[in-house]
Structure 1
Amino acid sequence: MLIKPEAMKRIAYLSLFFLMGANVQANEYNASLFGCKSDGVTNNTSSIQYAIDFIANEGGGTLHFYVGRYLTGSFELKSNVTIELHEGAVLLASPNVYDYLDYSGSRALIYANGQSNIKIQGKGVIQGQVPLFTANMETLVSKGIMGRDSKQLLPDLIRMENSKQVSVDGIMLLNGLENVQSYVGCTQLTLSNQIIKSNVYESSTGIFLSSCSGVELRALYVDASGKALREVGKNEIRIQENCVTPNGKKL
C-alpha cells in the first residue's frame, strides 16, 4: 500500500515530536528508580550517589525527590546535575559521624569541588540531626575511639568548593552544625528564597563565604545561633536584597 506524501510528513513530524519528548523525559529522573527509600530509616547514600553519577554521565539532568524522608550521608554533586526537592521531601542528614567523607579536612552532607552548573532547588527541606549526631560523637569520645578535638569532623549541610554556576533556591535548611552552608572559591553563586533555621548547635553559622565572586543573595531568612553570614577573604557580593535575620536586620 502506497503512503501519500502528506501522510509521510505527518508520520515524520509525529516521530520527531515523540523523540523530542523522549529526550526531555530522559533528563528527568525519580530518585525511587535508583532504589532510594523515603522511610527515614534506610541509608540512601550509595543510591543517591549512583543516581548523580549516572545522570552526570548521561550529560546532565534533574534528580527528583518526592514526599518522604530520605536518610543519607555524604554525597557529591556533579556538573550539570540538579537536585529537586519537592514539597514534603526531606533530605535527612545521618547522625553517624562515619557516614561523612573527609574532603581534605572538611566534611559535608552535600559536597562539590570543581563542578559547574549545579543546582539544589524546590520546596523541600535539608535537615540535620544535631542532638543525635553530637550524642553519638560524645559516646565515641568517652570510649576513646575519637579524640576530644574532633571539631573538624562536624559536617556542613552544603559545602561547595571551586565551582561555578552554583544555585540553591527555595530550600529550607534546618539544624546545621558549625556551618549550615559553606562556599569556598565559587563563582556565579546564587542563593535565593531560602529559610535557614539553625539554633540547636551552640555557634552555627548560616552562610559561610570565602573568596567567592559573582555572588547573588536574594530573599534569605537566616535564624542561626552564630553569625547569619560569615565572610573570610575577599568576596564579591553583587546583589543582596531582602536578606534578613529574625530581628529584621540585614545579613
Structure 2
Amino acid sequence: MSAVKRIVSFVALLACSIGMLQAKDYNASFFGIKSNGTTLNTTSIQRAIDYISANGGGKLKFYVGRYLTGTIHMKSNVTLHLEEGAVLLGSTNINDYNVGTPNNALIYAKGVENIGITGKGVIDGQGREVAYNLMDLIHKGIIEDPLDYDRPRNNRPKAIYMRECNNVTIKRITVKNSADWVSVYDQCKDVLVDSITIDSKAFWNNDGIDIVDCQNFKLLNSYVDAADDAICLKSHDASKLNENVEIRNCTARSSANGIKFGTVSAGGYKNIRIINNKVYDTFRSAFTIATPDGGIVENVLVDSLYAYNTGNAIYLRIGARWNKGRKGAIKGVTMQNIYIEVPAEKPDAGYAYEGPVEDNPRNISPASIIGLKGQPIEDIILRNVEIVYPGGSNPNYAFRGVSAKELDAIPEMAEAYPEFSQFKELPAWAFYLRHVDGIQFENVKLIAKEKEYRPAIVMDDVKNASLKQVDYQEPGKKGKKQLVLHNSTLKK
C-alpha cells in the first residue's frame, strides 16, 4: 500500500472513530415523546431525529409503551431502537401521513446513510383502520383516488420506505399491519435485515419485504407472513438492477408468492443467492422469476428450499409487457436440494385476505419454465429436487392434450400478467417447459398421489435438455408415457 493510500485509510478510520465516540443514546422521553398511545408524537419524534443527526448521531430509544405517530423522516447516523414492549403506533388519521407524495410511509428515508431500526419492539401501522379511513375520505370526494377493485390505489402508507440509502441495519424488530407494502428498500446499498418478523395481513397489497434495485443486500433469519408476495425482488429502473443479494434462513407465508422476482422487472437481477428457506400455506408459487418488462436475470442460486402447502412449485417466465422494445432474459439459474408439496385444496383458505380463485377451469398447474419464441430461458439446472403433487386431475373438468395441434394451440400470452395459472390448463402434471435452451434434470423425483390423465413432463421448443435420474411416481402408471417432446431435443 502506498503512503498516500495509508494516510487516506488512517484519516477515514479516524473520522469513523470520532463519529462513533460522538454517537450517543437518547431516551425518547428526553424530547417530550409520550408513551400513552393517544398523544400524537410526530413532531416530537422528528425533532429528536433531527437533533441526534445534527449532534453526531446516535440511538433514539423507546421503552415500554405505545408511541403514536404519523410520518417521520430518518436522518443520517440515527438508529431508532425499540426495546421489548415498545410499540411505534401508526396514526389512523390519513392526514398524519405525507398524502399525495410518492411512496407515502410511516417511516421514510431518502438519500441518508448509517441508519437503523433495531430492538425487540413493534412497529404497528394499524393499516386496516388507516385504509378504511382513507376510503371514507375518497368516497366523500376529499381525496381523489381511482379505487381499483374498490381499493385505494394511492396514498396508503407503507410501514417502512427507504430510497437511495447506504449502510442500513434493520434488526430483531416486528413490523405488522401495514396499509400497503410493508417494507421497501429502493436503490439502497449495503443493507442488513436480520432476525425480523413481519406479520401483515391487514389489507390488500401487503408485500412483506420488497427489495428494489439494491446492491449488497442481506435478508437473514427472518419470518414473513404477508397478504401479498412475502419476499419480493423488484426492478423499477431500466438502468438499475438488484445485485449481490442474499436471502438465507427465512420462513415465508403469503396469499400470493413466497419468494418472487418481479413482477416489475425493468433492469434486472444479478448474483442472487437464496439459501435454506421455507415457504408454507402460500397461494401462488413457492419460488418464481417473472421478467415481463425487459429485465435481465443472471446467476441465481436457490439451494435448500422447502415448501409445504403451496399452490404452485416453481414458475420462471419471460414476458413482453412494459418492455418498450427491450428483450428480457433469464440465464443461469440453479435450483437444488428442493422439496415442495402442492395440495389439492386452496392452500391459503381461512387467511384474512385470501388469493383470488382465478383462471379457472383448470386442474393443478405444474411447475413451469416458459420463455418466448426466439427468446428462450437459458441454462437451468434442477438438481436433487422432489415435488409432491395431489394428482387426480379430471379431463372432464378441464383438458389439454399433447398432440402437436393441441400444444401449438397454447397461447404465448407475452403481454399478460405473468402468473403460473395464466395459461389455465397445461398438458403436464409435474413440469411444463416451453422455449428453453439448456436445462438439466439431475436426481429429480416427481410424485403424484393419485392417477393423472396428463404426462409428468412436456417439453415444447426445448433444446439441449438433459434428464439424469428422473423418477416418476404415479399410481397405475405402468406403460404410461411420462415425457412428451414437441419440437424438442434431448442430449444423449
Indicate the TM-score class for this superposition, using the shorter chain for normalisation: 0.7 to 0.9
Matched length: 229
The CA deviation string for residues 43-87 of structure 1, in whole angstroms up to 9 with x for no partner, is: 000000000000011010110000000000001111111110000
Offset of residue 25 of structure 1: 9.4
Aligned to 2:229: 227
- The answer on whether the counterparts of 2:101 and 2:155 sit within 8 Å (CA) in structure 1 is no
Q: Secondary structure at the match of 1:40?
A: strand
Aligned to 1:54: 51
Aligned to 2:162: 160
Measured in 2, the distance between the counterparts of 1:192 and 1:227 equals 19
Aligned to 1:16: none
Q: Which runs of 4+ in 1 moved over 6 A?
A: 23-26
Q: Secondary structure at the match of 2:40?
A: coil
CA distance 1:212–1:46, change in 2 (3 Å)? same
Q: 1:98 aligns with which of 95, 99, 102?
A: 95
Q: 2:31 aligns with which of 34, 56, 63?
A: 34
- The answer on whether the counterparts of 2:215 and 2:243 sit within 8 Å (CA) in structure 1 is yes
Structure 2 residues not aligned, in runs of 5+:
1-19, 147-151, 236-240, 255-277, 280-304, 308-492
Measured in 2, the distance between the counterparts of 1:49 and 1:203 equals 28
TM-score, normalisation: structure 2: 0.45
CA distance 1:26–1:168, change in 2 (3 Å)? closer
Q: Does 1:177 align with 2:174?
A: no
Aligned to 1:141: 138
The CA deviation string for residues 206-248 of structure 1, in whole angstroms up to 9 with x for no partner, is: 0111110000110110000110022222212442211111493
RMSD: 2.0
Of the structure 1 ranges 222-231 and 144-153, higher mean CA displacement relative to structure 2 is found in 144-153
Higher helix share: 1
Measured in 2, the distance between the counterparts of 1:202 and 1:120 equals 25
TM-score, normalisation: structure 1: 0.86
Measured in 1, the distance between the counterparts of 2:23 and 2:137 equals 45
Q: 1:242 aligns with which of 228, 240, 249?
A: 249
Q: Which has the larger radius of gyration?
A: 2
CA distance 1:97–1:104, change in 2 (3 Å)? closer
CA distance 1:43–1:59, change in 2 (3 Å)? same
Q: Does 1:201 align with 2:193?
A: no
Measured in 2, the distance between the counterparts of 1:185 and 1:220 equals 21
Aligned to 1:126: 123
Aligned to 1:192: 194
Offset of residue 98 of structure 1: 0.9
Which amino acid is the alignment partner of residue 117 of structure 1? N
- The answer on whether the counterparts of 2:131 and 2:156 sit within 8 Å (CA) in structure 1 is no
Offset of residue 178 of structure 1: 2.0
Identity %: 41
Q: Does 1:117 align with 2:124?
A: no
Q: Does 1:68 align with 2:65?
A: yes
Aligned to 1:9: none
- The answer on whether the counterparts of 2:66 and 2:88 sit within 8 Å (CA) in structure 1 is yes
Measured in 2, the distance between the counterparts of 1:103 and 1:145 equals 12
Structure 1 residues not aligned, in runs of 5+:
1-22
Measured in 2, the distance between the counterparts of 1:127 and 1:159 equals 14
